[in-house]
Amino acid sequence: MDLKVLLSSLNDFASLSLAESWDNVGLLVEPSPPHTVHTLFLTNDLTEEVMEEALQKKADLILSYHPPIFRPLKHITWKTWKERLVIQALENRVGIYSPHTAYDAAPQGVNSWLAKGLGVCTSRPIHPSKAPNYPTAGTHRVEFSVNCTEDLDKVISAVKEMADVSVTSFSTRTDDEEQTRISLNCSQEALIQVVAFLSQSRQFYQKTEILSLEKPLLLHTGMGRLCTLDESVSLATMIERIKRHLKLSHVRLALGVGRTLESPVKVVALCAGSGSTVLQGVQADLHLTGEMSHHDVLDAVSQGINVILCEHSNTERGFLSDLRDMLGAHLENKINIILSETDRDPLHVV
């Protein structure tokens, strides 16, 4: 499959527009075109050991959940391991693609997979994603009425001189008087110009409404999940479920104030990876994530919230098995998709 065709299909599977603004997602390393992908190699983290495995298995494109290039590289030398990854990828004509937080937010993504380990439950995103392309223009809408053609022409003429402003008009009747309703969509910057213009005329300004335009929320899409179990279980039972789902022999547990292993768990707030920001202030019986700062754990515990930490990538890596099957179906099995066997969390209990 041609690389560009594959990238388009991957975006159809989970749009990169779902990723957080701070993230570095998409195609990070591209061999010179044309580039055909026969084998897609999946890994959670692209380390040098994983790169060696990918090259041995003749990968044409590496899908690394975490972006190996995050901070800008000032040079590409053999000095650091991330620079060496880029050199090896280019020398061996291997592309590198990272979806990261786009897969966190996706309805069929990492957080939804993590929630599967809790038992039968209903879930919703903690921080829902918003539609990326709506409204099509502007962050604000300014509406007001004019009574005569002369005023309408004056407004239209002025608006045409402003950048980032679109205008529509329609006829209305107020108190048996025909009026023209003007609706302007504009950016935050253009709003200042629009208000300055309207303030010159008391007739316009006193009848002006300014609306903040919010993009609609996307169903089942966003960061983290707030999960409500159909039937509550003890904390001890929930711990065993999580360990079984993540294939871990140990997890780290902080008991909430006044809680024991027999305390009931009905509501679980979870976030794959590092959950401090997403889970902060969320009321639940349990916070489940990979890692959390010491002080955020203390804050949760003080509120009677239990905290389970599993190490960062342990809450993500198992998703790749599901991803392999989903991408196989999505791509109609046109390419070979394989999982890394050397990828693992760098931390383990000794």
pLDDT confidence tier of residue 91, bands split at 50, 70 and 90: very high
**SS3 letters across 195-211:** HHHHCCCHHHHCCCEEE
144-193 pLDDT, tens digit each: 888 777 778 888 888 888 888 988 888 887 777 788 888 899 988 999 99
How buried is residue 154: exposed, middle or buried, by Cβ count under 10 Å (0-12/13-18/19+)? middle
**What is the structure's pLDDT at 144?**
87
Q: Give the per-residue pLDDT at 54.
A: 98
CATH 3.30.1330.20 fits 3-100, yes or no: no
- State whether the Cα torsion 294-81-110-229 is positive or negative: negative
Write down the pLDDT at residue 137: 72
Reported for 37-40, long-range contacts at CB under 8 A and 24+ positions apart, including other chains, are 37/1, 37/2, 37/3, 37/6, 37/61, 37/95, 37/335, 38/1, 38/335, 38/336, 39/335, 39/336, 39/337, 39/338, 40/6, 40/327, 40/335, 40/336, 40/337, 40/338
- Assigned CATH class of 140-212: alpha beta
Cβ atoms < 10 Å from Cβ of 151: 17
C-alpha distances in angstroms, 2 versus 5, 8, 62, 337?
Answer: 5, 10, 14, 15
User: If DSSP codes are grouped into helix, strand and coil, which group holds residue 140?
Assistant: strand
Q: What is the pLDDT of residues 246-276, one digit of tens each?
A: 999 999 999 999 999 999 999 999 999 999 9
Task: Please give the Cα distance from 191 to 149 (Å, whole number).
Answer: 24
What pLDDT band is residue 205 in, cutting at 50, 70 and 90?
A: low
289 has pLDDT over 90: yes
- Is 316 annotated to bind a ligand? Reply is yes
**Same topology between domain 3-100 and domain 106-130+220-314:** yes
**Superfamily of structural domain 106-130+220-314:** NIF3 (NGG1p interacting factor 3)-like (3.40.1390.30)
Which is more confidently placed, 234 or 187?
234
Identify the pLDDT of residue 238: 98
Spatial separation of the C-alpha atoms in residues 271 and 126, rounded to whole Å: 9
Which tokens is 165 given?
């402003």
Characterize 10-33 residue by residue with b for buried, 16 or more Cβ atoms within 10 angstroms of its Cβ, and e for exposed.
beebbbbebbeeebbbbbbbbbee
116 is written with which tokens?
């599967």
C-alpha 144: how far from chain center: 37
Structure tokens at 313: 């990538």
Report the C-alpha gap between 215 and 197 in whole angstroms. Answer: 27
Average pLDDT score, the chain: 94
- Tell me how far apart the alpha carbons of residues 323 and 330 are, in angstroms, rounded to a whole number: 10
294 is in an annotated binding site: no
Residue with tokens 């590496």: 62
127 marked as part of a ligand binding site: no
pTM over 0.95: no
Residue 178 Cα distances to 130, 149, 155, 159, 304, angstroms: 38, 11, 17, 22, 62
Q: What share of the chain is helix, strand, coil (3-state, %, to 5)?
A: 35, 30, 35
Q: How far apart are CA 196 and CA 82, in angstroms?
A: 51
CA gap 325, 6 in Å, rounded: 16
pLDDT digits (tens, 9 = 90+) for 29-87: 999 999 999 999 999 999 999 999 999 999 999 999 999 999 999 999 999 999 999 99
pLDDT value at 103 more than 80: yes
Domain ranges of the chain: 3-100, 106-130+220-314, 140-212
Quote the DSSP letter at residue 36.
Answer: B
Q: What per-residue confidence (pLDDT) applies to 180?
A: 85
312 is in an annotated binding site: yes
Predicted local confidence at residue 315, as pLDDT: 98
Burial of 270 (0-12, 13-18, 19+ CB in 10 A): buried
pLDDT of residue 27: 98
Q: Report residue 167: phi and psi, to 5°.
A: -130, 140
